Structure 1
């Protein structure tokens, strides 16, 4: 539950009252309250007064311990931590008790749907999302084998699930190390923008992160740790690029063509799980004259970390998550930086972004029973309310509002933030304050981006790029700027799910062909996971599967469980393959499209330049369902939704 299991840390701190008080100063007191109650069974802790505080400028509210109850809670926690009971033993709460504690935590009554989704968010179970055999594990056919493509978060989540089920598998990873996007991306100051207390597997308890928002190297080290601890690493075939896979109905197997260590190999598998991820194919810069430029042009997904920046003139094209994240670090080394912005983004503050986890806080997480569990739950519960920001309110709009009361309030808060950061430069307001609604696009975390723009050695360029010249970039106003290095933070071709691997199904049609048909509206899948006529093929992070808020990694565990249950059904029924029924697929996507149309992603000010929206004008990345509803749809594999062969 709360025991630390990860890389070795430094010497133990000297713990006295002052040290404990510093830990309590930094604690999430509501999480601490529930942890202390669970450890002591002191019912009076549940009766401590609470209050709600505004978040995001009043758009949302958070429940916290009231000021008048803080010292009482601190005193009890201090006593427990300095003089813990000698006979204390950690236990797991049963479902009734856990549900009651959830309700006490937020001062709310949970519906059955709320409870079903939230049950695993405090991670008291050893493995909160786990597929199981319906009886004793059967003897598997000798040739029953699963090919997993990609060794990032999704591939490792799937592999851990297969380890638990005892199903043979191989992960094919085209790079020489695991990590997925956290191996590919080595651009300056790359890090997560979701707190690690959400961006983590919940079957791995209390990993000793050093920062609240870990840098790429630490995330990759975490995945290495998980892969080795759970027996996954030995199943990874590195330097193995899966180029093509074709399904044979006669044998019920996939034939896979892969380049392994430079050699073409033909392999077979019962099932294929694509865990290549959404951000696998870099979007290339499509500007005249690129081939004439004599300096360096580097897509941020292809940085080596060895690019020479000191004393050089550098351009960063793009102001999405990557471009914003890297500016401050690049500026600290370059002679000058040109920031090329096409579309203003909502670039937002994020509490504790860039902060190390203090020794006192690390000690509290390691020492206070159940605190890690409730700290994680607190982080998840706070973000549940964020879903309301994506939901336009027709009545509010009819009365003159833009989106909804909550979304408009958040827009005002973010607008004030932008203006406060620009200080003496109100001339930049119109260039940097977006016209689209917050949440219509992915929110960007401010990594000193606004502060960097105000420096004399940084220039914001909003004119359209006309062409590259041999020495730099010319914009539509005729101005030419010279650069030695150009970073293209232009993102990824998110319409190219699974590309460049070609998957060919029953109708001798590739997924790429099917999804490029305008009549299809682009990539589609059932539950984001499966496509008709492509048997035993499952997609991790597939079309319309990105969660509306919270932890993506929780959903990777959830998708892995669902796929595991599908494989269990396949084995236990004695069939060779399964494929989602066409009518189930069509009905699901009709409902999905209708639900999406009611959300903020189709804001007219945003759809033209928004990676959520594809070339056919359809939002293809996010699931429109509230988290509780999406969880319900994925809660169990439904055999009646599939044809078996």
Structure 2
């Protein structure tokens, strides 16, 4: 297949709010183009060139990137050999010249057959098994999966049916977007004055992604003009706001409105939702509720004796007080997770003294570009080569599908507690050697900073050296003795030492297992969701809970990921299942849908077995992924494909109960 560009077709309807019909024409010299190619990512560049020109000679089979398994960091250029890279650069330069000389400034849509052929190249020939999943992520594919293929007005034009969405973080944005595409009436409640969820709430110094920026986006919002390799929080908040405005979703949102409780009314088969705004409560009625409150919403502030007597300032990283000037202050940072890892290097030069209270040190993987802008060749190609940014994003998505999952798989014969397999030990030794070099001037610190748990047991952070540099400073100290109590002027640790402190920053994460708290959700049995779970939250695919009809959780239990996966993809799968469940309910003229207990039990058994075979599921690993019962209730232990197949293959006849509408219950609009 080698279609000419002149015969190419253009998309008539593209499911992407960032879609561009035209790109800037190339007027660069051959020398300038050669410089761009020299600094470019070759697999995505060749793919983009083949897609826009239709010339598949630019993607020969022998130049497919092999994508060797990632242990710590990916191999450059997808693992292509030096000779393969040299050949690829020659092809890429010729392709860019053609784009320039023929003034190819428009993306060229791909029929599925050609799209699959191109995907086979960029995935190194491994994409066929995931073909449908891959098509979901490609803007250029005609009739790609994702958007609902039904409309409310066609399925249930006379039915009185409205959905409530709780929250406008990433999960809420996805829910809004798909509901609007389906034409389903909906209202969104957001307790904050703006969209963005955790990215609106978290404004602490240094806040940014710990995943590469191009991999952090929706399939329907493939932004390409990112400013940073790992975007700062403000840039992600900007992204959330842009999606809502570009998709015209803002009109559906009621801001500064908090959901207090929701109770299922059996007679009308609807949720009675109590919302509070400006101190006034109101009861609203909805036929389905999508809870998009996320896992990282409720701050976890540990409790210690004497906290109320402390005369200084206390704040959680997710509730940063920008009125507090840290200059010249004695500061304590409690925790060494992702937020602490970003805060400490950002404030260390301003404070007089910094105590970092550590329970266990973090594992980090090298990322020299962690604070760098988007590379200039990438930014140039995103502006001048049609759809290059989307192919660059697709490559990041493909690499994340399994990521480093193989490095955390437990070898049942392994007899060490600091690792779970031979490959996991190899990762440990590699990362430890990096730390050894970083701490060469203070080798006695290695026993403190090197974690004692297996790599991957907790979320691994990105490292460009600034954490070690901050902890090296003379006015910084790592405190490993546990906090015993507060005094009016500081903190006393278990070894009896008092640490004078002016400001305490809790970088202690979130109550991730307390889904939906503090909203009181009462089902038809009269039991609340919190009582039903009793501290052990479970939901089929993280979305559906038996006994709670027409309630859908997005990014619910067991949908987070650690060493593999893509955040937005998991959200989209959950949302697309939810829209299909609503479709089934409407198409069959039913009142309610809920998952069976048997289906949930099978799911939980499968998930628990998967997590038991991962580093984070081992008894020696203490992590927020585990709830008060010791069960891993946050993490998805498999790849993208399993979640895609689970949510796409839901059997509404076998695994769900669809309740008929009752006489005198839900009324048609015409009545």
- The TM-score range, normalised by the shorter chain, is over 0.9
Q: CA deviation at 1:93?
A: 2.7
1:482 alignment partner in structure 2: 500
Distance of 1:186 and 1:275 partners within structure 2: 21
Pairing 1:443-462 to 2, within 5 Å after superposition: 443-446=460-463, 448-462=466-480
Matched, 1:39 2:52: yes
2:357 alignment partner in structure 1: 340
Matched, 1:602 2:617: yes
Q: Is the 8 Å Cα contact of residues 418 and 454 (structure 2) preserved in structure 1? A: no
SS in 2 for 1:338: strand
Q: CA deviation at 1:111?
A: 5.2
SS in 2 for 1:579: strand
More displaced 10-residue stretch of structure 1: 236-245 or 441-450:
441-450
Say which of 133, 154, 157 aligns to 1:117.
133
1:524 alignment partner in structure 2: 538
Pairing 1:490-569 to 2, within 5 Å after superposition: 490-516=508-534, 522-547=536-561, 549-569=564-584
Distance of 2:253 and 2:153 partners within structure 1: 28
Distance of 2:104 and 2:298 partners within structure 1: 55
1:16 to 1:457, Cα distance in 2 relative to 1, 3 A? farther
Q: CA deviation at 1:351?
A: 4.8
Say which of 44, 53, 67 aligns to 2:82.
67
Distance of 1:292 and 1:12 partners within structure 2: 65
1:168 alignment partner in structure 2: 185
Note the alpha carbon deviations across 1:241-260, whole angstroms, 9 max, x for none.
00100011110100011102
Pairing 1:462-477 to 2, within 5 Å after superposition: 462-477=480-495
1:611 alignment partner in structure 2: 624
Q: Is the 8 Å Cα contact of residues 160 and 232 (structure 1) preserved in structure 2? A: yes
1:166 to 1:51, Cα distance in 2 relative to 1, 3 A? closer
TM-score normalised by the chain length of structure 2: 0.89
Q: CA deviation at 1:394?
A: 3.1
Note the alpha carbon deviations across 1:413-463, whole angstroms, 9 max, x for none.
111121122121110111111121111111122361111100112111111
Matched, 1:414 2:428: no
SS in 1 for 2:213: coil
1:516 to 1:73, Cα distance in 2 relative to 1, 3 A? same
Say which of 27, 42, 45 aligns to 1:29.
42
Pairing 1:361-440 to 2, within 5 Å after superposition: 361-383=378-400, 384-394=402-412, 397=414, 402-440=419-457
SS in 1 for 2:155: coil
Q: CA deviation at 1:55?
A: 6.8
Q: CA deviation at 1:101?
A: 2.6
Note the alpha carbon deviations across 1:375-426, whole angstroms, 9 max, x for none.
112212223242212211335x279994223222211111112112212111
Distance of 1:5 and 1:343 partners within structure 2: 42
Compute the RMSD of aligned alpha carbons.
Answer: 2.7
2:591 alignment partner in structure 1: 576
Unaligned runs of 5+ in 2: 1-13, 660-671
Q: Is the 8 Å Cα contact of residues 558 and 634 (structure 1) preserved in structure 2? A: yes
Distance of 2:379 and 2:357 partners within structure 1: 40
SS in 1 for 2:248: coil
Q: Is the 8 Å Cα contact of residues 2 and 205 (structure 1) preserved in structure 2? A: no
Matched, 1:259 2:276: yes
SS in 1 for 2:516: coil
Distance of 1:263 and 1:16 partners within structure 2: 65
Tell me which of the two structures has the higher relative contact order, counting C-alpha pairs closer than 8 angstroms and 6 or more residues apart.
1
SS in 1 for 2:428: helix
Q: Is the 8 Å Cα contact of residues 503 and 511 (structure 1) preserved in structure 2? A: yes
TM-score normalised by the chain length of structure 1: 0.92
SS in 2 for 1:610: coil
Distance of 2:89 and 2:546 partners within structure 1: 57
Unaligned runs of 5+ in 1: none
1:626 alignment partner in structure 2: 639
Note the alpha carbon deviations across 1:293-330, whole angstroms, 9 max, x for none.
11101111110333211111111010000011110111
1:214 alignment partner in structure 2: 231
Note the alpha carbon deviations across 1:193-233, whole angstroms, 9 max, x for none.
11121111121233411112111111111111100111111
Distance of 1:394 and 1:184 partners within structure 2: 42
Q: Is the 8 Å Cα contact of residues 273 and 537 (structure 1) preserved in structure 2? A: yes
Size of the aligned set, in residue pairs, is 634
Matched, 1:314 2:331: yes
1:195 alignment partner in structure 2: 212
1:109 to 1:334, Cα distance in 2 relative to 1, 3 A? closer
